Amino acid sequence: MGILVSIDNGGTLTDFCAYDGDEILVTKAMTTPEDLSKCLFRGLTQLSELVYGNDDVTRLLHNIDYIRYSTTQGTNALVERRGPRIGLITSSGFDKDQFLSEEQRADLFETIIGNRVGLIDEELSGNALDLALTKEVNQLGALGANRIVVSMDSADYVSVEDSLQKIVLRRYPSQLLGALPITFAGDMSKDDDYLRRTWTALLNTFLHPAMEQFLYSAEHRLKEHRTRNPLLIYRNDGGVARIAKTIALKTYSSGPRGGMGYASELARHYDIKNLISIDIGGTTSDISTVVESVLGEDTFGRVEGVEVSIPLSRIRSAGIGGSSIIREIDGVIAVGPKSVGAFPGPACFDRSGEELTITDVLLLNGLIDSSTYFGGQFSLNKNRAETALEHKVREPLGIEYLAALEKVEEAWVRIVAEKVWEHQGCSSDSTLVGFGGGGPMLLTAVASALGLKKAIIPGMAAVFSAYGVGFSNLSQSYQMQVSGESLGQDCESQVLRAKRDMFAEGVDINDCSLEFSLVDMKTKQITNKWSHGDSLPSVANTHTLLRLKATKETKRLEFAEESFKNVSDAQASGERLLIINEVEKTVPVYNYRQLVPGARGEGLCVIEHEFFTARIDAGWSFQVSANHDLLLSAI
């Protein structure tokens, strides 16, 4: 088989995985926000060095079957409110207040739209409608709009917008230089909910330009190397498709969704009924659940607090991570939600930062070794960490050094556990999976705080989302509102759309699985599921959504078969002095790369990977699976 590459582009680091059928190679590159294709090719070059022993990215690209790519750039653009100025054309009865009902939604509307709203009287027709629309488009352009969304608040919004679209095509042909791109909300989603349909079009239009510019630039550079297949973009529904068949909004939160995809595969592989995953980065922790191998999903997802017309995975982001600021407030140790980010970073990063973080504390208590942190590529300054601890916790609370270390760790663990509990709670039989740079660090402590007896540190914890992207298949999803009388016809119209789109992907529809579902739009629950060719269910009411997912299985990552026959004692590679419970203890250190399947050991100990460090507490044991995952159990 050829090489499979999966990539997760984050705000600070971009993660890469390559699989050639025998082994999985991983690397990381610093993200270059000014030109994301730079870090893309830097990482691919590093992968070529791992595969061939020398820099030969052209050879690597010739031998790649698929490149799957996820990115947080859309998420970051919304968080930073960085995007085009959009104008909205809507019905004359427009009520702005319905867009401002929540503080977060109001802020988003003012950022994206502001005063750039044009109104059209739907009773107009012919030349009067033509002139009215032309006037509003020109006025929005004068107000600074460089993109326009048309969304009519009408029961017959489809035909109304079709009439307006014909005028736009005649008055503002796309081939003219300077023509304003105009999106019609009804083309984005057939959803009778005006507010939801409008927000879906607005958010997609806001994300589209930056995503389009980078992704096509990256694909162009890949084509220069004559790659065999187009770049596949990972979406928040767990599938991939080429750039031309992907809408920008579906890339929102796709990185964390990659992690959820891997968590789901872990649950299925190890037969875990209730799994809680926590992806701890520098600034945030993304928390999700998998029940009976099924990911938590909202029928109508939320983006920045706004409900949209497409389903989104149920992921809770909490403001706590490895770079969250820790300080005393009113006699209590507070953690987050503010973060020092990658720059200046924790105090120990020695980049002029003065804030205390859990990274500083774990350096001081011995868990993190400066000589091996981030594969030894990152030097840490212990003195600066000590100064931050002194000024932010010890002096304000009037406590000793060892007590300060213990109390800060306790506070961080407690808040992480609280955030997990707030997401959905957890039953005693749940298994906690920790990944990301910070997920493995104190995983057994967090699990104990939650009353859990089992946890997993995936072997790919440091590149978990990138690795999870590698389990995806080529797919397209569709939805429309339906009634019982026309269900058969509506199903076939969706299949016809899928046939065209999959043909554009180079795939015959007969080689795809076609899975339908019905959603009650009032309860937001799935009522029926069936495959193409099965008998059709009955439709109880007109508030029903028909969904179709067309999937073509592609070469993807697979798990090795588990066998625990060859159990052996893990061999320590060294020792480390830890401070725990205000006492210094010398504990064994296990090099993750030297642990073989079946190896087992007990805490208190340290397991070290070039991109993560984990402390296994006393009262816990670990065993290495055939897939090199660390299976943790309370003794």
CA distance linking residue 406 with residue 606, whole number of Å: 17
3-state secondary structure of 583: strand
Residue 351: per-residue pLDDT: 86
Q: Quick one: pLDDT band at residue 175, thresholds 50, 70, 90? A: low
Enter the tokens of residue 67: 């490149």
Which pLDDT value is given to residue 137? 93
- Residue 340 is predicted with a pLDDT of 85
List strand residue ranges (DSSP E) for 72-219, in order. Answer: 86-91, 117-120, 147-150, 182-184
> 138: which residues sit within 8 A by CB, 6+ positions away?
none
Q: What's the token pair of residue 203?
A: 């958010």
In the prediction, which pLDDT does 176 show?
Answer: 61
Q: At residue 299, does pLDDT exceed 90?
A: no
Summarised one tens digit per residue, pLDDT across range 585-594 is 999 999 999 9
Segment 17-43 shows an average pLDDT of 85
Residues 511-560: pLDDT tens digits? 999 999 998 888 888 899 999 999 999 887 778 889 999 999 987 777 77
Model pLDDT, residue 563: 62
Cα angle at 85 between 79 and 90, to 5 degrees?
Answer: 110
604: preceding bond cis by omega (within 30 degrees): yes
Picking from 429, 458, 427, the residue whose alpha carbon sits closest to that of residue 559 is 458
Which amino acid does the sequence have at 255?
G
Q: How confident is the model at residue 389 (pLDDT cuts 50, 70, 90)?
A: very high
pLDDT tens for each residue of 335-368: 988 888 767 889 999 988 899 999 999 999 999 9
Strand partners, 578: 585
Tell me the C-alpha distance between 633 and 455, whole Å.
7
DSSP 254-284: HHHHHHHHHHHHHHHHTT-SEEEEEEE-SS-
Task: Look up residue 459 and give its two tokens.
Answer: 């072997």
Instruction: Return the closest-CA partner of residue 149 out of 58, 203, 88, 196.
Output: 88
| pLDDT score of 437 | 83
Q: CA 622: distance to chain centroid?
A: 28
Burial class (CB in 10 A: 0-12, 13-18, 19+), 463: buried
Residue 294: pLDDT band (50, 70, 90) is confident
Instruction: Quickly state the pLDDT bin for 249 (edges 50, 70, 90).
Output: very high
Which one of 77-86, 229-238, 264-273, 597-606 scores highest in mean pLDDT?
A: 597-606
The answer, yes or no, to whether residue 144 has pLDDT greater than 90, is: yes
Cis peptide before 344 (omega within 30 of 0): yes
Predicted pLDDT of residue 319: 84
Across 158-184, b (16+ Cβ under 10 Å) vs e yields: eebbeebeebbeeebeeeeeeebebbb
Contact 490, 298 (CB under 8 A): no
Strands laid side by side in the 525-531 sheet: 24-30, 13-19, 3-9, 64-71, 232-234, 240-242, 474-482, 544-552, 513-520, 525-531
**With 70 as the cut, is the pLDDT of residue 565 above it?**
no
Cβ burial of 589 (10 Å; 0-12, 13-18, 19+) is middle
Which residue pairs, CB below 8 angstroms and at least 24 apart, start in 394-403? Answer: 396/327, 396/328, 397/328, 397/331, 397/333, 402/579, 402/582, 402/583, 403/582
Cα separation, 275 vs 430, whole angstroms: 6
3-state secondary structure 368-379: CCCCCHHHHCCC
> How far from 469 is each of 39, 58, 247, 505, 609, CA to CA, in Å?
18, 23, 18, 19, 21
Most confident segment among 63-77, 270-284, 463-477, 570-584: 570-584
Give 114 or 31, the one with higher predicted confidence: 114
Task: Yes or no: say if 459 and 628 are a contact pair by the CB < 8 Å rule.
Answer: yes
pLDDT at 177: 55
pLDDT tens for each residue of 442-495: 999 999 999 999 999 998 898 888 988 988 999 999 988 887 778 999 999 999
Q: What is the pLDDT of residue 348?
A: 94
Question: Global pTM?
Answer: 0.83
State the pLDDT at residue 36. Answer: 83
Between 178 and 544, whose confidence is greater?
Answer: 544
397, 404 Cβ separation under 8 angstroms: yes
Give the N- to C-terminal CA distance of the chain in Å, as an integer.
Answer: 42
Q: Is the peptide bond between 256 and the residue preceding it cis, with omega within 30 degrees of 0? A: no
Structural domains in the chain?
3-77+212-251 (3.30.420.40), 79-207 (3.40.50), 324-412 (no CATH), 474-549 (no CATH)
pLDDT at 314: 84
d(CA 375, CA 554): 33
* Buried/exposed 567-586: b ≥16 CB within 10 Å, e otherwise: eeebebeeebebbbeeeeee
Q: And the tokens for 368?
A: 């993190």
Reported as type and span, the H/E element at residue 443 is helix 443-449
Query: What confidence tens digit (pLDDT) does each residue in 194-233 have?
Result: 999 999 999 999 998 878 877 888 888 888 888 888 899 9
> What residue type is assigned to position 541 of the chain?
N
Q: 367, 441 in Cβ contact below 8 A?
A: yes
pLDDT of residue 482: 85
